Structure 1
Amino acid sequence: MLVIALVDRTGSGLWASVSVLYLTYVSGLSVGQVGTLAATAGAIGIAGAPLGGRIADRFPLTRVLLVVQLLRALASLALLTTNDFALLLAFSAVGGLGDRAASVLTRLYATRVAGPDRVRYQAVQRTVANAGWALGGLAAAAALTLGTSAAYQWLLAGDAVSFLASALLTLRCGEPPSPTRTVTTSKSPAPKTKPTSASPWRDRTYLAYVSTETVLFLDDAVFKIGLPLWIAHTGTAPHGLAPLLLVLNNVMVVALQVPLARFGTTTAAARRLLVPLSAAFALGGLAMAFSATSGAITATLFLTAAAAAFTVAEMLHATISWELSVALAPGTAHGAYLGVHGLAQSAQRSIGPLAVTAAIAAGPVGWACFGAAIALTCIVQHRLVRDPLTQKSLSVPSVTVSEH
């Protein structure tokens, strides 16, 4: 599955950095149409997380992931066949649906195959995925020097090929044991699926936890939108700093995600990390605020400090989220619960741009409040999950997975 993550993300890196350019220069869409397409496809894609998780609780996980990868490949290839806005919107929506489902399914696979070591496994997988994303981005940058429509089309085709390759590699992965399924050999009867009674939609504590997660995922919007726009808006730091800060983010994640993950390998340890996470978000917001009150050199230093702080927050939150999202879920419904948890990241893609642009519009005070608000949400989550985790540790139902 680690090889699949590398291949998948390499393809995504090829396409993500040029998607807007492709739709503008090859498909001939206006700025408004590109924005509408991205927003609509993103909104429809939100359903992919809970849908994928629910299905994976009832059918073999590797087969569900195979279908999703093929769906993503077809959606990418379909984009090459038309420049019609309505069709592009439909194909992008299908691709978004598949992307969000695949994200949840790979997390669920890690949860089932790694067991108690899921945090470390996820950290290694995230490191590999970031390396793949960087490779794809570098390849895209090299291809764009050609400046031709064919170059854009080949990058999109490369994205589709990466999904096809991921699907083929998925065939080689063994089906991990699941509390909702009985694992058998080829000589045994077909696996039977036991219905799951637990529903995350009726679990108000888990839904409240997911709502706080939506806020904690805002670091993503900082790097994709906040930092570049803030640098352009203030004019004190060189514009060329923006891509360098993205490189810093990627390098830090590749180098430090696995070492940091060892501080959150238990549920109690993951919950304790919410305190330093709160501090990291607060410091990131303050550094962004101070960057607007200085000259070019000092502003560059503050922006670099902000990028480092938000990257530390990103890595800490990833570690915490991997553990708590599973620890708070019943063992017989991990797929359904992780699917609902996936809504947090999907929803952030909608509210994140609004949050960071509001911070930019408010100036330095806006960034200070932005960091403080997320820091406060960390403390709220710290309190929110205490009682459910304590109760679960006192009474954990035993689950039997039989092999014949």
Structure 2
Amino acid sequence: MLAVTFLDRIGSGLWASVSVLYFTYVSHLSAAQVGALAAIAGAAGIAGAPLGGRIADRLPLTHVLVGLQLLRALASFALLTTDHYGLLVAYSALGALGDRAASILTKLYATRVAGADRVRYQAINRTASNAGWALGGLAAAAALTLGTTTAYRWLLSGDALSFVLVALLTLTCAEPPSPSRVAATAEDTPRTRPRSPWRDRTYLAYVGTETVLFLDDTYFKVGLPLWIAHTPGVPHGLAPLLLVLNSVLVVAFQVPLSRFGATTDASRRLLLPLSAVFAAGGLAMTLSATGDPLRATCLLTVAAALFTLAEMLHATISWELSVALAPDDAQGAYLGVHGLAQAAQRSLGPLAVTAALALGPLGWTALGTTIALTCGIQHRLIRDRLRPAPLSVPTATVSEH
């Protein structure tokens, strides 16, 4: 499954780093249309996690994953066939649905096969994922030096073909045992029903704050490329290169940084420096609007590094707290709800980022400050719910890119 993740991320790196530029220069969409398209696709993706999980409870997990990868390939190939805005939105939404479902089920597969070593396995999986992103981003940057429509189309084709290869590789993976069926067989007393996360107001509020903190994902996929596209003198090839920088930094420092959140109390305390990093990243984006291409390029690189640091710190915090705040008998259900935070930000995030862009340079300072304040809100919100010790092995901490 690590090879599956690696190939999947190569394809995604080819497309994610240039998708905004593709829709802008090949499909000739405006910034508002690109933002709306990303938001609608993100909204469709929200349904992917619960829908994919429900199907996986009834069918073999590997078979469901193969179907989802083929769905993603079909959606990507379909984008090549039209410049009609409505169809581009529909195909993007279909791809997002398959993407979010496949992401959740890949984690489910890892959880089932790794057992007690799931955290370390996820760390290795995270390394493979970001290495794939880096290779895909480098290939995209090289292709963009051509600056032709054909180059953009080849990158999208490469993304689609990667999903076909991933589907074939998944067919070779063994089907993992389903712990839910084992639990159902061992159930003794029906009155010991696990708590529902949908009735836990504190946890739902926590997931709401997580939706805001996951905005670093939209920053790299939508905000940064759009800002580069509309900043005079800055080369368009900088966008995929900064995605490569993001991936390289995560591969190098995700595991070492996770030690700073080795306990639940440490993870909560880490929210305060995280808020400062988010604020500094927004300020660096504002300062990049200098009119000088070289200075703008340097400041955009600093901003990308700061948002990458924020991503890694939040990964450490999020993995630990999402488990620590969940009751022992319902961790699966709670983590499933937590997973919706990232899907939700993929819908709402593009709107927030494009709104910041529309406000001009100061919009980035406002966005960074908003995320920083949300860190403070989460820090106080979870204070009375934290447990004295972490529930997961704290040697490595992982979040999805």
Provide the TM-score with structure 2 as the length reference.
0.77
- Paired position in structure 1 for 2:245: 248
Distance 1:114 1:362 in 2: 47
Alpha-carbon shift at residue 182 of structure 1 (Å): 2.1
Note if contact 1:119-1:323 (Cα within 8 Å) is conserved in structure 2.
no
Query: Aligned residues, how many?
Result: 385
Correspondences of 1:248-327 after superposition (within 5 Å): 248-291=245-288, 302-327=299-324
- Paired position in structure 2 for 1:43: 43
What code does the residue aligned with 2:166 have? S
- Paired position in structure 1 for 2:204: 207
Alpha-carbon shift at residue 312 of structure 1 (Å): 0.6
- Paired position in structure 2 for 1:221: 218
Whether 2:109 is the aligned partner of 1:109: answer yes
Note if contact 2:134-2:243 (Cα within 8 Å) is conserved in structure 1.
no
Alpha-carbon shift at residue 214 of structure 1 (Å): 1.0
CA RMSD, 1 decimal: 4.0
Alpha-carbon shift at residue 375 of structure 1 (Å): 1.9
Q: Which has the larger radius of gyration?
A: 1
CA deviation string 1:226-245 (max 9, x = no partner): 4455567776x855694354
Alignment CA distance shift 1:118-1:353 (3 Å): same
- Paired position in structure 2 for 1:137: 137
What code does the residue aligned with 1:99 have? D
CA deviation string 1:106-147 (max 9, x = no partner): 233334444555444333322221221222233344456677
Note if contact 1:66-1:171 (Cα within 8 Å) is conserved in structure 2.
yes
The secondary structure found in structure 2 opposite 1:139 is helix
Alignment CA distance shift 1:221-1:333 (3 Å): same
Note if contact 1:44-1:93 (Cα within 8 Å) is conserved in structure 2.
yes
- Paired position in structure 2 for 1:356: 353
Distance 1:232 1:21 in 2: 7
Alignment CA distance shift 1:354-1:18 (3 Å): closer
Note if contact 1:215-1:374 (Cα within 8 Å) is conserved in structure 2.
yes
Alpha-carbon shift at residue 384 of structure 1 (Å): 2.5
Alpha-carbon shift at residue 210 of structure 1 (Å): 1.2
Distance 2:304 2:149 in 1: 34
Question: Structure 1 stretch 341-350 or stretch 351-360: which is displaced more?
Answer: 351-360
What code does the residue aligned with 2:380 have? R
- Paired position in structure 1 for 2:70: 70
Alpha-carbon shift at residue 378 of structure 1 (Å): 1.5
Unaligned regions of 5+ residues in structure 1, if any? 184-190, 395-404
The secondary structure found in structure 2 opposite 1:389 is coil
Note if contact 1:57-1:334 (Cα within 8 Å) is conserved in structure 2.
no
Correspondences of 1:21-36 after superposition (within 5 Å): 31=30
Note if contact 2:77-2:160 (Cα within 8 Å) is conserved in structure 1.
yes
Distance 2:332 2:389 in 1: 18
